[in-house]
Amino acid sequence: MRHKISDWDDAYANGINIAQGDRWPAAWVEPAKAYRDQVEAAGRAKLGLAYGDRPRNRFDLFLPEGDTVGLVVYVHGGFWIGLDNSFWSHFAAGAVAHGYAVAMPSYTLAPENRIAGITVEIGKAVEAAAGMVDGPIRLTGHSAGGHLVTRMITTTSPLPEAILERIANTVSISGVHDLRPIINTKMNQKQRIDREEAYAESPALLEPLPGARVTCWVGATERSEFLRQNALLANIWKGLGAETDTVEEPDRHHFNILDGLADPDHPLVQALLS
């Protein structure tokens, strides 16, 4: 069957295409705050840590009970134009239960920042968190965050060699890996992506680092563009020598796909920590 996208805004619109989709992101606010309060009360949260000079250059760090076995960095979505790290705190729970520290950074949003600038900021956030936590580093991110974490493991990564050598695994959740289609959307009035930046900042158009491992994880009921973007990166990078896997989780959409991160026994957490 032939198919051509004529409405790029609808192709990347999640809330209006999900039953009761207007619940999110507000549905995450209360459980995220409850988790922060709980971990902070236990003395295992370091909130608002600076990794740069700009107001949103901050990250929260959630620590496990007992010894720390490594670091997970979770990068939030919002199409590079919205939200901050406060919505997602409870999704640290799965990795924390396995002894990992979890860092959750915010970053300077478009239009105040360009995609290339956000990439640099996330690199600084990963480096700052890695300086506080020993052991292997595992990266994960959702939607725009999936783009940003896979961008970290390309040959043009902003990360220094010593940090890159510690990255054991990357999981992109509903990631946007080719920025060229976003140029066709109205939201690009804020993102200001042009073709030059799309080619320089799209993981699917870049080469993975030697030894890169990536899992591309998406909800099976997501928009077809997110399913395509998910399969795209794994397909291309497999041909460039990376170790890749693709998962379409049944009965999950663009928002509840993240629920697995809060469950220590969920396959999404197991894939991240593998």
In the block, tokens 């291309």 appear at: 236
Strand pairing report for 58-62 and 70-75: unpaired
pLDDT at 9: 87
pLDDT digits (tens, 9 = 90+) for 228-254: 999 999 999 999 999 999 999 999 999
pLDDT at 105: 98
> Using 50, 70 and 90 to split pLDDT, how confident is the model at 274?
very high
pLDDT at 5: 87
**Residue range 43-58: average pLDDT?**
98
pLDDT digits (tens, 9 = 90+) for 143-197: 999 999 999 999 999 999 999 999 999 999 999 999 999 999 999 999 999 999 9
In angstroms, rounded to a whole number, what is the distance separating the alpha carbons of residues 272 and 274? 6
pLDDT at 23: 81
pLDDT digits (tens, 9 = 90+) for 13-38: 887 777 777 887 889 999 999 999 99
pLDDT at 179: 98
pLDDT at 221: 94
In angstroms, rounded to a whole number, what is the distance separating the alpha carbons of residues 195 and 176? 16
Homologous superfamily, domain 8-273: Alpha/Beta hydrolase fold, catalytic domain (3.40.50.1820)
pLDDT at 4: 84
Q: Which of 32, 42, 88, 38 is nearest to 65 (CA)?
A: 42
In angstroms, rounded to a whole number, what is the distance separating the alpha carbons of residues 259 and 152? 24
Tell whether the model's pLDDT for residue 205 goes beyond 80.
yes
pLDDT at 145: 98
pLDDT digits (tens, 9 = 90+) for 61-102: 999 999 999 999 999 999 999 999 999 999 999 999 999 999
Instruction: Tell me how many degrees the CA angle 93-98-99 measures, rounded to the nearest 5.
Output: 100
The domain limits of the chain are 8-273
Q: Which of 185, 207, 247, 251 is nearest to 6 (CA)?
A: 185
In angstroms, rounded to a whole number, what is the distance separating the alpha carbons of residues 143 and 258? 10
In angstroms, rounded to a whole number, what is the distance separating the alpha carbons of residues 53 and 37? 26
pLDDT at 6: 79
pLDDT at 71: 98
Tell me what percent of the chain is helix, strand and coil, each rounded to the nearest 5.
Answer: 40, 20, 40
Tell whether the model's pLDDT for residue 2 goes beyond 80.
no
Burial of 132 (0-12, 13-18, 19+ CB in 10 A): middle
pTM recorded for the entire structure: 0.96
4: left (phi over 0), alpha (psi -120 to 50) or beta: beta
**Dihedral of alpha carbons 207, 212, 213, 219, sign:** negative
Q: What is the largest CA-CA distance in the chain?
A: 57
**Residue range 128-155: average pLDDT?**
98
